[in-house]
Structure 1
Amino acid sequence: MFVEFGPEVPLDEIARRAGVGNATVYRHFADRSVLVREVVCSVMDRTSERAEEALAEEADAFQALRRFVHAAADERIGALCPMLSSAFDKDHADLDDARRRLEAQVEGVMERARAAGQLRTDIAVGDLLVALSQLTRPLPGSGCVDFDQFVHRHLQLFLDGLQTPARSELPGAAATLEDLRRPE
């Protein structure tokens, strides 16, 4: 529901879609911010697990990166951005833990591909996270209609651009995690 309608979707509608009474939702989640935080943490945790699996199961370093990126798209990681902009405690310990774990896993997948000489050296974790966020989020006004059919195609185009040898020099500097955390 959050992917389709954003973080402000009515809790009663979430309960209806889940097939439970609205009292059940309110009993498990004190308010919307708790539910949003739990959903964000759950998505980040599952995405971290996908990175761990890709590293453990793929012999080829770039294939592990490719597998992770597509798995992150399937987890709807791009839907987190609008949710993170909603009003809840972004510094909550559970959220910090999930974010740190995800960032460490993404860094690990990228470092392995970089060490194997398969990933451009002018790419940082922030570049990958920004691209994932942008390429997996439905376009405004699209209503999510069949958007998924394009996501993996566009991610593959992006991944092809990450491989070495680079075909061009990138403008500006690589986006680091610190760049993404800077307040506006």
Structure 2
Amino acid sequence: MSSGNDGSTGGGRTVSPRRDAVRNRDALLAAARGLFAERGLDVPFDDVARRAGLGSATLYRHFPNRAALVGAVYGDLLDATARAGRRALDESDAWAGLGAYVTAVYAGLAADPGANDLMTTSIPGITALDALHEEHRRTVARLVARAQEQGAMRGDVAVEDLLLALAAVGRTVPALASLDGAWQRQLALLLDGLRAPAPVPLPGRAPTGDELTDVLHALGPRLGR
């Protein structure tokens, strides 16, 4: 009786995946992680297969589309970010919750340079990324509103102001990760500027949601590289 690549045999009996299939999958994930860090999430599939030393057919057998590959590479980080958001929203002190949430997000960026695009890049078909962006926006919006209600955050800060500032500073996190405490220092400076009371009103106006999206796309996936 022969077994297929799905690890099953006739009669309903299952067998362990072949060792070479596991090895190939691990090689593909390692190659994708490295290329995502170097060139962004839209790197061609053929380049991933080539770096792994495998054929494109093998890549597509394991990961039929970009959503599957990105999800496999960053699934743990996506889940950790969502959990950090839920913990922040459970905090009675919204300011403390906001600080803990963005610190957790930045720690993920520092640990994996390729993860930097996750918070700002949108690639059609990757629903996990779209869901992350929406959840991130909702989490920040709720924390901002509560922090302002509690009198901890200046009232003239819009959600889009904070999202733009977080994205801009977040782009520097991988480059600062090798410097002890550097990204934590920049984040602390950013958050301190949001505290109430405000010494002077903010000039200009906050960007709209659509304007924020345009600005983030204009920054590109590799700001500062």
**TM-score, normalization: structure 1?**
0.71
1:54 touches 1:64 (CA, 8 Å); kept in 2? yes
Distance 1:14 1:64, change over 3 A: farther
Q: Distance in 1 between matches of 2:139 and 2:130?
A: 14
Counterpart in the other structure of 2:80:
46
Distance 1:160 1:82, change over 3 A: closer
1:138 touches 1:147 (CA, 8 Å); kept in 2? no
Q: Which runs of 5+ in 2 are unaligned?
A: 1-33, 219-225
1:44 touches 1:102 (CA, 8 Å); kept in 2? no
| Matched letter for residue 89 of structure 1 | P
RMSD after superposition: 3.9
Matched, 1:96 2:130: yes
Larger RCO, structures 1/2 (Cα 8 Å, 6+ apart): 1
1:110 touches 1:119 (CA, 8 Å); kept in 2? yes
| Matched letter for residue 180 of structure 1 | L
Look up the SS of the partner of 2:178 in the other structure: coil
Distance 1:145 1:158, change over 3 A: closer
2:176 touches 2:183 (CA, 8 Å); kept in 1? no
The one of 59, 82, 90 equivalent to 2:92 is: 59
Matched, 1:157 2:189: yes
2:84 touches 2:101 (CA, 8 Å); kept in 1? yes
Counterpart in the other structure of 1:80:
117
Q: Which runs of 5+ in 1 are unaligned?
A: none
1:41 touches 1:95 (CA, 8 Å); kept in 2? no
Q: Distance in 1 between matches of 2:163 and 2:96?
A: 17
The one of 154, 158, 173 equivalent to 1:124 is: 158
The CA deviation string for residues 24-82 of structure 1, in whole angstroms up to 9 with x for no partner, is 654332255653476577655532321211221x3322111111111111122971269
Distance 1:25 1:121, change over 3 A: farther
- The runs of at least 4 aligned residues of structure 1 exceeding 6 Å deviation read 20-24, 142-145
Q: Distance in 2 between matches of 1:42 and 1:122?
A: 35
- Residue 178 of structure 1: how far off its partner (Å): 3.2
Counterpart in the other structure of 1:166:
198
Distance 1:51 1:2, change over 3 A: farther
Counterpart in the other structure of 1:28:
62
Counterpart in the other structure of 1:5:
38
Q: Distance in 1 between matches of 2:199 and 2:36?
A: 35
1:54 touches 1:68 (CA, 8 Å); kept in 2? yes
Q: Provide the identity percentage.
A: 31
1:79 touches 1:133 (CA, 8 Å); kept in 2? no
The CA deviation string for residues 114-137 of structure 1, in whole angstroms up to 9 with x for no partner, is 110111112122222222222122
Distance 1:101 1:165, change over 3 A: same
Q: Distance in 1 between matches of 2:132 and 2:189?
A: 28
- Residue 23 of structure 1: how far off its partner (Å): 7.2
**TM-score, normalization: structure 2?**
0.60
Distance 1:128 1:45, change over 3 A: farther
2:148 touches 2:154 (CA, 8 Å); kept in 1? yes
Bigger drift between 64-73 and 153-162 goes to 64-73
Q: Distance in 1 between matches of 2:180 and 2:49?
A: 26
